[in-house]
Amino acid sequence: MPLATRFQIATLLAVPGGLTALLPADFEALPLPLATDGLAVLQAAIVDGIGPGTLTALAGSRLRDVIPALVNAPGGPAAGPCPVRLVAALERDGASTWAVLGGRTLVEISEIMNVGPKSLVALLECALAAVIQSDRDTNERTTTPSNDLAALLAYERESGSTALRNALTQLAKRQHPSAIRAAAARLSASRGDNGDSPADRVVSVLDRALAATGDSRDRVVFERLDLQLGGAPTGASVARVLDVGNQRVRQIRDRATERVRSAVAASGEDRLLRAIVDCLKEGLGVAAPVAAADLLLESLELPSTTDTRSLLLLWWAGPYRPVTEHPGWIAVHPTELVLETARVLSEDDGVRLASHVRKDFQSLCLVGDHVDAWLAQQPVRVVDDLVVLMTGSPVDVAARALSAAGHTMTTEELREWPGAPPSRAPTATNIRPRDDEAALRRDARFVRVGPDNWELAEWGGVPYEEAFNPAGPGGVRSLRIEVDHLTLAGSGGAVPQALVESLGMLEGGRRTFATRYGPVALSYDGLLATRGSVRPIALAVGALTGDTLVVSFRPDIDGATVELVPMNAATLF
């Protein structure tokens, strides 16, 4: 329907504290008026808004999509003010009930009745009447119960006593927590001569402030762009709906904001509103779940965040805005909070004491239980009072896992520790073990200290070499040396004890084998067998990280041969 018609209907269906209806989905949750004359005015407004353009746009739609509530309406057109000849045409086609008609498109219905646009509008009017008749008895409003303590204060005022009021005045002073100050301020201002409670007075001020935004269009812009906490639209999307430019939307928004601030400032309820706002700020902090805001508002006898008036109060206190990355959360500066949280969690290479993280969150002005609730929202694992960041590449997570565990881990343990992290969940199961090993070998942060055991290089562990072939042709013993950053840096490494024993080396012995590219030295102290640096050999044969050097020894001579086995590119990620 035209925008003017939608605004007119939204005004007729306006619910105190509800967002101004603008889109079709907005109208579905709005109750119909209780009074008969209100229903008649609403029906007339809808019918008047159905013009040729509307019918053209809806021609291919089913009747139940045009009027969703029709699915619950009993009977059919014959029960309403539908012209007799149209009812007869529908009955001949077997479409005498709303249930059957709901599945037909407007084009099909028009062809059945063989009528023009005016008769089709008459049928839609009849359908609206059926919906209104079926819903009118179920639409009831509720009232807010009175406050007993507020009634007692009102009685005290009439009797001339001041004891209770003086006590509340003391509680409203600065040395008390904001929640107590707010409650005392509300009660001390409770129920004047007109019988309004403090909550009623606050809501009244907020109602007047919302009304001060301007006409329906101005209010829609302000509510949608500044107050809405869930699925808030962009300025561009609101501009498209209102059929105005983006710059015009910004002008309307700025004007409405200034009018709201002026209306609140001129309300004469500065003390009461300040106490409420201080309570909200202290109770919610810089960020909080929407559910926590609802509980706090309830304790102040104010509506929940489903009510526009309370949303305006949160805007005035913060403004609190939705945290896009964490649905169900609101924050004063959502973008800055998310960035600061990421910085806190990434410190110390992403492995931090939980107590330190909580203190840093508190320094960001998160309060109370919201600290742990916010931590639970983050992509982390908490293990032994350590907070481990689980974002980044698989090897980044593996480095943090070793740091948090503090001991050697296998490739499988690193892959699964302590469960697939969010960033790897879609692909982790497709990574082969050998791929993970290749990635660990290429990364300077890791060192292999066993057949499938990894440590952080900063721990100073001795690199492990793969087992040798003990009985090759002619008694040759072959040792495989995986080339990594440590090998190319000149580091030595451990070798299998069986190798030095098969070469006839005794405890405390040392033996050097000559190759065409340089010497290879082996040592044996009785507990650990090691080799010296093979960096000159690796450089001479042109070895790269991931390649393998195969050194073949003979026990009867002090010579050895070297073979370069290039890394298989298929084992990479």
HSE-up (13 A, CA, CB side) for residue 523: 10
* Contact assessment for residue 363 and residue 413, using Cβ atoms and an 8 Å cutoff: no
* Contact assessment for residue 270 and residue 196, using Cβ atoms and an 8 Å cutoff: no
Find residue 62's DSSP bridge partners: 105
For 69-99, b/e burial (b = at least 16 CB within 10 A) is bbeebeebbebbebeeebbebbeeeebbbbb
Assign domain 473-571 to its CATH superfamily.
Answer: DNA-binding pseudobarrel domain (2.40.330.10)
SS3 478: strand
As a whole number of angstroms, the distance between CA 264 and CA 205 comes to 7
End-to-end alpha-carbon separation of the chain, Å? 56
Residue whose C-alpha is closest to residue 27's, from 41, 44, 42, 9: 9
- Continuous segment of H or E residues that includes residue 552: strand 548-553
Written as tens digits, the pLDDT of the chain (573 aa) is: 777 777 777 777 776 677 777 776 677 667 777 666 777 787 788 878 877 777 777 788 888 788 877 777 777 877 777 777 778 888 888 877 887 888 888 888 888 777 777 777 888 888 878 777 766 545 443 333 344 555 555 555 555 556 666 676 667 665 666 666 666 666 655 544 444 667 788 888 888 888 898 888 888 888 888 888 877 778 888 888 888 899 998 999 999 999 988 888 887 777 788 888 888 898 899 999 999 999 988 888 888 888 888 999 999 888 999 998 999 999 999 999 999 999 999 999 999 999 999 999 999 999 989 999 999 999 999 988 999 999 988 889 999 999 998 999 998 888 888 564 443 333 333 444 556 777 887 888 998 887 788 999 898 877 776 556 665 666 788 898 988 888 898 988 888 888 888 888 888 899 999 999 999 999 998 778 899 999 999 999 999 988 899 999 888 888 899 999 887 643 433
Q: Which value, in Å, is the radius of gyration of the alpha carbons in the chain?
A: 38
* Contact assessment for residue 64 and residue 102, using Cβ atoms and an 8 Å cutoff: yes
Answer left, alpha or beta for residue 408, where phi above 0 means left and psi between -120 and 50 means alpha: beta
DSSP state, 429?
A: G
pLDDT at 422: 42
The letter for the amino acid at 395 is V
As a whole number of angstroms, the distance between CA 451 and CA 410 comes to 9
As a whole number of angstroms, the distance between CA 30 and CA 33 comes to 9
Residue whose C-alpha is closest to residue 72's, from 127, 24, 150: 127
As a whole number of angstroms, the distance between CA 314 and CA 320 comes to 6
At the topology level of CATH, where does 394-459 sit? Arc Repressor Mutant, subunit A (1.10.10)
As a whole number of angstroms, the distance between CA 231 and CA 216 comes to 21
* Cis before 536 (ω within 30): no
pLDDT at 388: 94
* Residue 160 CB contacts under 8 Å (≥ 6 apart), including other chains: none
How many helices (H) does the chain have, and how many strands (E)?
Answer: 28, 15
* Residue 347 CB contacts under 8 Å (≥ 6 apart), including other chains: none
Find residue 288's DSSP bridge partners: 330
pLDDT at 364: 92
**Lateral strand order in the sheet of 509-515:** 493-494, 529-531, 518-524, 509-515
Length of the chain counted residue by residue: 573
Q: Give the angle subtended at the CA of 382 by the CAs of 377 and 384, to the nearest 5°.
A: 160
DSSP state, 526?
A: S
Crossing angle between the packed helical segments 270-284 and 178-188, to the nearest 10 degrees: 150
CA distances from 363 to 329, 340, 373, 501 (A): 19, 11, 16, 61
* Contact assessment for residue 265 and residue 277, using Cβ atoms and an 8 Å cutoff: no
For 204-233, b/e burial (b = at least 16 CB within 10 A) is ebbbebbebbbebbbbbbbbbbbbebeeee
pLDDT at 50: 79
Q: Which sequence spans correspond to the domains of the chain?
A: 3-135, 171-332, 334-389, 394-459, 473-571
